[in-house]
Amino acid sequence: MSEAATQRSIFARNPLDMIAHAHALQVQMCDAMERIADGLPDDVDRRLCAQVASCLQFDLPLHHHDEEAGLFPILRERVLPEDSLGEILDRLASEHSSDTDFASEIAESLEHLGQGGRASNPDMLGYMLRGFFERYRRHVHWENTLVMPVARLRLKPEDLETLSARMETNRRQAS
């Protein structure tokens, strides 16, 4: 399949499925971070470090952008008072900005390990990894249990089109 056709087939899918898929990958990323933290300082899978670093640097900011510039504002327009989602979306959005900063700091250290280097302070890196994956697992859990079911219930077909278009733009701008 040509790249253009692949792109078309990706965006023909429900954008909420794409977001759910990203969440599943993020859970795997958190598990990988736990394996890395457990193995420090000597038992480190360098390829895994490089993969996680790339995920933290590129995939995560893109996903946060999909939610903040796409899903969350569209959802805010559609939720009903009984969904009581407003404060939760505020909280999740504020977590994005601290997580993006923290992720890029951790990614630098993991990239160094991925290239064959040693952690200058393994205890500190372990502490940072654990802090991140514990918080991020909670973040994804909240989105999967509190946000995604409401999005599937409230978003209309035209909202899904708007979200798809937004996500497509985000990817064009990122590449």
Q: Which is nearer to Fe ion, 43 or 101 (CB)?
A: 101
Q: Which is nearer to Fe ion, 10 or 22 (CB)?
A: 22
| Residue 66 binds Fe ion (CB under 5 A) | no
Number of residues engaging Fe ion in binding (CB under 5 A): 2
Tell me the helix, strand and coil percentages in the chain, rounded to 5: 85, 0, 15
Token pair for 41: 């300082």
Angle at alpha carbon of residue 142, lines to 132 and 172, rounded to 5°: 75
Matching residue, tokens 């429900």: 14
Spatial distance between the Cα atoms of 36 and 136, rounded to a whole number of angstroms: 16
Q: Which is nearer to Fe ion, 67 or 159 (CB)?
A: 67
Spatial distance between the Cα atoms of 128 and 119, rounded to a whole number of angstroms: 12
Q: Which of residues 14-53 bind Fe ion (CB under 5 A)?
A: none
Among residues 74, 143, 155, 164, the one that binds Fe ion under rule CB under 5 A: 143
Q: Which is nearer to Fe ion, 40 or 88 (CB)?
A: 88
Sign of CA dihedral 52, 57, 63, 68: positive
Spatial distance between the Cα atoms of 122 and 119, rounded to a whole number of angstroms: 5
Least CB distance to Fe ion at residue 139 (A): 6
Least CB distance to Fe ion at residue 15 (A): 12
Least CB distance to Fe ion at residue 96 (A): 6
CA distances from 167 to 28, 53, 138, 175 (A): 22, 22, 24, 12
Span near Fe ion by CB under 5 A; candidates 42-50, 118-126, 135-143, 159-167: 135-143
Span near Fe ion by CB under 5 A; candidates 5-13, 61-69, 107-115, 166-174: 61-69
Q: Which is nearer to Fe ion, 10 or 16 (CB)?
A: 16
Q: Which is nearer to Fe ion, 19 or 119 (CB)?
A: 19
Interface with Fe ion (CB under 5 A) = 67, 143
